[in-house]
Structure 1
Amino acid sequence: MGDERRSIELEVEVSGTPEEVWRAVATGPGISSWYVPHTVEERAGGAAMASFGPGPEMQIPGRVAVWAPPRRVCFDGGEGVEGLAFEWTVEPRGDNRCMVKLVNTGFGQGGEWDAQYDSMVEGWGLFLFNLKLHMEHFAGQTAASVLPVGMWAGSRDEAWGVLTDALGIPSAPATGERIEVNALGAPPLAGTVVDAAAWRIVLLLDQPAPGTGFVTVESYGEHAGASVWLYLYGGDGTEAAERDGALWQNWLAEALGGGADGSTE
């Protein structure tokens, strides 16, 4: 059974009017531009679908449980379906700013749920930062995403060293530094560092197209998942996403010694 008392509650201040921010958190094109590809029927009771990878098992259906534009939307698994629910609220803060609040409920008890909870807290932090970047630099535009993951049978620290060495980039760059991937077989990738912390680098991209990029490593028990996630805009971005998605997946598999699973979980 889910434990409604345990929830993830996060917020981020972003630029934009409530209507502009609503598009980003409540519609398919908006959510796809900073999270994972989504389709949303824009009405209460409408169907929703989140794509966490290429396989059919990675297509996660849901429902629009609450639709109250431009202030509140809630997604869940459907009527009578237990599991996770995601409530988003948009609160205007004046001067073309809004506070976006997420309440993620429906977690169960036990070690497996504990690990999922911890992983989602970390993941939501990253995605909400991407939402902030999207609203600041690309509001109203729709990104084409590239979301490969490669698995490493070892520690997070080891995977981070292997990944950054293979990419030919510093493991701890300074904010404001421009870095460019220099790796045999990897597609072109370059941008300015807007955030860097343990196991992650966030880029405002200029190659292969304008957009945002995340070089990250997540922990999965005895394994680690290394990601190069890209959100690309404009015609060049769409073309690059179609061209480079499989290339990045294959590159990660080779760089980490095999084991890339093609998912974002």
Structure 2
Amino acid sequence: MNFEIRREIALPATPEEVWRAIATREGQAGWFMTFDEAPDDAAGGITEDPPHRLEQRFGTQAIEYVVEAASGGTSVLRFVHSGIREADWGDEWDTMTAFGWDLYFFTLAEYLRHFPGRPAVYVEAEAPPSPDVAAHPPTSQVWRNVLAALDDPQEGDRVETPVGPGVVDRRVEGYLGIRTDTALVRFHERSLLGMCLAVGHHETGDATGIKDTWTTWLKAMA
């Protein structure tokens, strides 16, 4: 089944700054994710026209970024994710994927706003497997424990995390975003996908020991 997800996002950065964030490894690490090796389905190819257009093709899908200059040193990003979804997914795949992109683009804007020009390192840690994840509940006990450990914070609240103090910049169902002095930290509750809770940590400072710190903390939350 064909699908198409379109987004238009105003970003607080020049086209050149946006390009570094979407087209370089150290930029992508500030808001998205990086891979030690290319995924198996990522061999479709890349088309570039810096700093205006980037297209990535993988398997039966393609992602296109078009960057245009706007007033006051800002930009508009026009994004399209299209292709053929797997046969065992229905329209819920489109909804979940679009929601995921919205969260990533929020993080992109935060990265460009608060850490402009700073190279990043992406670190990910997962909570241990638990029986309630396998049962696909609305939210896992680990997620509830994480929120309780952080005093059930709301957007704008200051919190103490295992990697230092921060402020909550985003909270929606199954997702919590925290900005520290050097990083953007994103908690993803993934039990509906049959996956363990994960923390994505986008670090613009020293990333030494961060994965171990989060892994130990998440183990205590299980």
Unmatched segments (≥5 aa) in structure 1: 40-48, 51-57, 182-186, 257-265
Do the aligned partners of 1:180 and 1:189 also contact (CA within 8 Å) in 2?
yes
Structure 1's consecutive aligned runs of 4 or more residues displaced over 6 angstroms after TM superposition are none
Match of 1:55 in 2: none
Match of 1:14 in 2: 11
Do the aligned partners of 2:140 and 2:191 also contact (CA within 8 Å) in 1?
no
Deviations 1:114-163 (A, max 9, x none): 45433322221111111001110112111112212335334233443133
Q: Quote the Cα distance in structure 2 between the aligned partners of 1:225 and 1:102.
A: 29
Match of 2:46 in 1: 65
Match of 1:86 in 2: 63
Match of 2:144 in 1: 161
Q: Structure 2-normalised TM-score?
A: 0.84
* 2:97 alignment partner, one of 114, 120, 142: 120
Match of 1:215 in 2: 187
Do the aligned partners of 2:26 and 2:119 also contact (CA within 8 Å) in 1?
yes
Do the aligned partners of 1:25 and 1:31 also contact (CA within 8 Å) in 2?
yes
Do the aligned partners of 2:26 and 2:121 also contact (CA within 8 Å) in 1?
no
Q: Quote the Cα distance in structure 2 between the aligned partners of 1:225 and 1:122.
A: 19
**Is 1:231 equivalent to 2:222 in the alignment?**
no
Q: Quote the Cα distance in structure 1 between the aligned partners of 2:85 and 2:199.
A: 30
Unmatched segments (≥5 aa) in structure 2: none
Q: Which residues in structure 2 correspond to 1:44-59 (within 5 Å)? A: 50=38
Q: Quote the Cα distance in structure 1 between the aligned partners of 2:117 and 2:44.
A: 24
Deviations 1:193-216 (A, max 9, x none): 12222222211113xxx1111123
Q: Which residues in structure 2 correspond to 1:241-260 (within 5 Å)? A: 243-256=209-222
Deviations 1:227-258 (A, max 9, x none): 22211112xx232xxx12134235434533xx
Q: Structure 1-normalised TM-score?
A: 0.72
Q: Percent identity?
A: 24
Query: Which range is displaced more, 148-157 or 19-28?
Result: 148-157
Do the aligned partners of 1:178 and 1:193 also contact (CA within 8 Å) in 2?
yes
* 1:198 alignment partner, one of 164, 173, 194: 173
Deviations 1:38-84 (A, max 9, x none): 58xxxxxxxxx55xxxxxxx66633543211111110012xxxx422
The RMSD of aligned alpha carbons is 2.5
Do the aligned partners of 1:156 and 1:224 also contact (CA within 8 Å) in 2?
no
Q: Quote the Cα distance in structure 2 between the aligned partners of 1:164 and 1:15.
A: 30
State how many pairs are aligned: 216
Shift of 1:217: 1.0
* Counterpart residue identity of residue 137, structure 2: S
Q: Flag the 1:105–1:157 CA change in 2: closer, same or farther, 3 A.
A: same
Do the aligned partners of 1:156 and 1:218 also contact (CA within 8 Å) in 2?
no
Q: Quote the Cα distance in structure 1 between the aligned partners of 2:33 and 2:86.
A: 26
